[in-house]
Amino acid sequence: PTRFDSPTLAGRIKVSFEFFPPKNGDMEGQLWESISRLAPFNPDFVSVTYGAGGSTKQPTLNTVSRIIKETDLAPAAHLTCVEASRDEVDEVAREFAGAGVKHFVALRGDPSEGVGAKYRPHPGGYENSAALVGGLRELGDFEISVAAYPEKHPESPDFALDIDLLKRKVDAGATRALTQFFYDNDAYERYVERVRKAGIFIPIVPGIMPIHNFAQVARFADMCGASVPELLARRFEGLENDPETRAMVATAVAAEQVYDLVERGVDEFHFYTMNRAKLVYAICHLLGLRGNGSNGNNGIHAAA
Ligand code: FAD
């Protein structure tokens, strides 16, 4: 592939988009504007996050239900097992399945005191995400994706433990890993090598976080254990009050990252949209996808 959008890329790249459930009517409007704009790219699936401890159960369920009713998109519901009993989690999974969900992103979640607080399994709950994957497998024939950490999970003392847990998730039935966002492609490539050496052969789909607001992303990266290269900071320097230029720079930065990953053999991307379409739209376009309905389908139909 070349570094430029070319016919060799179109038809080869698969994308998925992550959204979060809206908290109010305005946010719902923004979410649906974004879904409508991105749907014509024909994503492999669109995922909807789930507040740890069940805090967004209803909004997540409402969002995936509406996606099923009003679009041709395949939704994936995130599900966490932190601070919930096994019965509670199973019940939520059954409700989602009843609404038509066939794909779960199975996660442990973080304690409600926040990222960094010590995780303790709920008595009678799933011990971790591998146990949750096993539980979901018993409940139905779902597609199950899980999380992976190219720069390792902040709680993990080393990569070996992290990758061992990923292996347990795969052995329990996970068929795809979506990575924590990262900006260091070398770290991703090293991680995939380690994972393959450990005998794990599922797709490790890179999670791409376009930078809407550098300071916010840097804070978030710090909490998640993702490194932020110095060069990235310099690129956004002085643009704090210039959203238009920031968006152009963010598109260029993300395009550079995904092109480099394509050159390293990646052909599948998971975008953290933050419920905003603009940057993701431009990056997908640069990846050779077309969102102008030229594939004959805008992915949305009227509510039944
Ligand atoms: P696990 O895979 O169970 O474990 C995470 C890490 O903890 C392991 O890698 C390991 O380092 C350590 N660990 C686990 N067990 C042990 C042990 N016995 N001993 C020592 N160390 C151990 N959070 C939400 O609340 N809602 C969401 O919708 C959501 N979506 C996400 C989507 C993606 C793609 C990603 C990457 C993360 C998402 N998260 C979400 C965040 C996630 O819940 C947190 O990162 C959480 O801290 C770990 O979840 P996990 O499923 O990776 O956990």
Q: 157 CA distance to ligand 1 centroid (A)?
A: 14
Average confidence (pLDDT) over 61-87 = 97
Q: Rounded to whole angstroms, how far apart are CA atoms 251 and 185? A: 17
Per-residue pLDDT band for 99 (boundaries 50, 70, 90) equals very high
Q: Which residues are catalytic?
A: 18
**Residue pLDDT, tens place only, 159-190:** 999 999 999 999 999 999 999 999 999 999 99
- The protein residue whose alpha carbon is closest to atom 11 in ligand 1 is 156
Pocket test for ligand 1, best of 80, 133, 153 (most atoms within 8 A of CB): 153
pLDDT for res 23 = 94
Q: 66 CA distance to ligand 1 centroid (A)?
A: 27
pLDDT for res 112 = 83
Per-residue pLDDT band for 304 (boundaries 50, 70, 90) equals very low
pLDDT, mean over the chain: 93
Q: Rounded to whole angstroms, how far apart are CA atoms 150 and 181? A: 8
**Alpha-carbon distances of 83 from 51, 58, 68, 86, 171, rounded to whole Å:** 11, 17, 28, 10, 24
Query: How much of the chain, in percent, has pLDDT values that exceed 70?
Result: 93
Tokens 């005998």 belong to which residue?
A: 199
Indicate the SS3 state at residue 68.
helix
- The protein residue whose alpha carbon is closest to atom 33 in ligand 1 is 147
How long is the chain? 304
Average confidence (pLDDT) over 48-70 = 94
Q: Rounded to whole angstroms, how far apart are CA atoms 217 and 221? A: 6
Q: 280 CA distance to ligand 1 centroid (A)?
A: 25
Question: Judging by beta carbons within 10 Å of its beta carbon (0-12, 13-18, 19+), is residue 212 exposed, middle or buried?
Answer: middle
pLDDT for res 294 = 60
pLDDT at 6 over 80: no
Q: Which residues line ligand 1 (CB under 6 A)?
A: 49-50, 52, 78, 80, 105, 107-110, 128-129, 147, 149, 153, 155-156, 161-162, 165, 178, 180, 207
Cβ burial 49-71 (10 Å sphere, 16+ → b, else e) = bbbbbbebbebbbbbbbbbbebb
pLDDT for res 220 = 94
H-helix or E-strand spanning residue 22: none
pLDDT for res 52 = 79
| Ligand 1 atom at minimum distance from 48 CA | 28
Pocket test for ligand 1, best of 92, 164, 165 (most atoms within 8 A of CB): 165
**Residue pLDDT, tens place only, 255-295:** 999 999 999 999 999 999 999 999 999 999 999 999 876 65
pLDDT at 233 over 50: yes
| Ligand 1 atom at minimum distance from 207 CA | 34
pLDDT at 301 over 90: no
Q: 2 CA distance to ligand 1 centroid (A)?
A: 35
E strands within 173-239? 176-181, 204-208
Pocket test for ligand 1, best of 16, 57, 63, 128 (most atoms within 8 A of CB): 128
| Ligand 1 atom at minimum distance from 128 CA | 3
pLDDT for res 184 = 97
Residues with Cβ within 8 Å of 67's Cβ and at least 6 positions away in sequence, in order, are: 35, 46, 48, 73, 75
Contact 258, 188 (CB under 8 A): no
Per-residue pLDDT band for 65 (boundaries 50, 70, 90) equals very high
DSSP secondary-structure letter at 125? S
Q: Rounded to whole angstroms, how far apart are CA atoms 92 and 106? A: 12
**Side-chain-side CA neighbours of residue 210 (13 Å):** 28
pLDDT at 32 over 90: yes
pLDDT for res 206 = 98
pTM assigned to the model: 0.95
Average confidence (pLDDT) over 60-67 = 98
115 versus 207: which is more confidently predicted?
207
231 versus 116: which is more confidently predicted?
231
Per-residue pLDDT band for 50 (boundaries 50, 70, 90) equals very high
Q: Rounded to whole angstroms, how far apart are CA atoms 240 and 261? A: 28
Q: 107 CA distance to ligand 1 centroid (A)?
A: 6
Residues with Cβ within 8 Å of 111's Cβ and at least 6 positions away in sequence, in order, are: 52, 82, 83, 117, 118, 119, 120
ipTM reported for the complex, 2 dp: 0.96
